[in-house]
Amino acid sequence: MTYVDGFIAAVPKANRDAYIKHASDAAPVFLDFGVARHVETWASDVPDGKVTDFRKAVQASDDEDVVFAWFEYPDRETRNAVAKKMMSDPRMEQMSASMPFDGKRMIFGGFAAILDSGSGTGPYVDGFVLPVMPEKKDAYLRLAHKAERDFDEHGAIRLVEAWGDDIRDGKQTDFRRAVQARDGENVVFSWIEWPDKATRDAAWAVMMEDPDMKPDPGGMPFDGSRMFWGGFDVVLDRKA
């Protein structure tokens, strides 16, 4: 099943065009290495959270926005082969030297998809990051399958849930710190693709009024207070 490298970064608002150009120039190189799909999305509807949120995850300042991005691969073996190529290719050093954002605060990690529903790609994305205990993985997956049916009914065209597989500690930021992970907890990186923001907004309005969508704190297989999410505009979507 799909393997994912997930990324979150803080980018100066003034550098939006420079960031998109940087990503667009880099995309052919990544696809040449073996990345199957490269997606970059820019914050559109990213709320502040009481405990965690996208901005806290990357220590974003007031003049920065958040980018939610990912690479897709057919499997981990392909991803590992791509990573080796990236480490040895001089083009990567050149790209790193010209990044229009603070790479020290970017967080990234490898995730194995546990649910990959739908084949469409959309210009608007809801991104989610959350902590889950390994013993609750099956319960989380059952909840995800239920949500999949609801989202599909309301117009979503793809849903991916990916389980932390190669999550490393960073010096300044990382996925575990982003969700304030406790001992033993893993990290889930997921997204929903929509045909447009209007469909997404309408879907959420209906679903939030549905009693079946109301969270049951006692029955949730994760701590919802440490989950963070937001809506993003796709600014780059390249496939091999």
User: Alpha helices of the chain — where are they, by DSSP H?
Assistant: 16-33, 54-57, 76-88, 90-97, 137-153, 175-178, 197-207
Structural tokens at position 102: 């603070």
Is pTM beyond 0.75 here?
yes
Structural tokens at position 232: 């993003």
* Residues sharing a CB contact under 8 Å with residue 75, sequence separation 6 or more, in sequence order: 1, 3
For residue 97, the model assigns a pLDDT of 83
For residue 213, the model assigns a pLDDT of 61
For residue 216, the model assigns a pLDDT of 61
Please report how many Cα atoms fall inside a 13 Å half-sphere around the Cα of residue 21, on the Cβ side: 6
Of the candidate CATH numbers 3.30.565.10, 3.40.50.460, 3.40.50.300, 3.30.70.100, the domain formed by 3-239 belongs to: 3.30.70.100
Structural tokens at position 157: 């065209």
Q: What is the DSSP string of 71-133?
A: EEESSHHHHHHHHHHHHH-HHHHHHHHT-SS-GGG-EEEEEEEEEEE-----SEEEEEEEEE-
For residue 74, the model assigns a pLDDT of 97
Residue 217's SS3 state is: coil
Kindly give the confidence (pLDDT) of every residue in the chain, 240 residues in length, as a single tens digit, with 9 standing for 90 and above. 899 999 999 999 999 999 999 999 999 999 999 999 999 999 999 999 999 999 999 999 999 999 999 999 999 999 999 999 998 888 888 888 889 999 999 999 999 999 999 988 999 999 999 999 999 999 999 999 999 999 999 999 999 999 999 999 999 999 999 999 999 999 999 999 999 999 999 999 998 887 766 656 567 899 999 999 999 999 999 999
Residue spans per domain, the chain: 3-239
Distances (CA, A) of 151 to 117, 148, 189, 201: 10, 5, 17, 12
| Radius of gyration (C-alpha) of the chain in whole angstroms | 17
How many Å apart are CA 140 and CA 4, to the nearest integer?
19
For residue 93, the model assigns a pLDDT of 83
The helix (run of H) or strand (run of E) holding residue 231 is strand 228-239
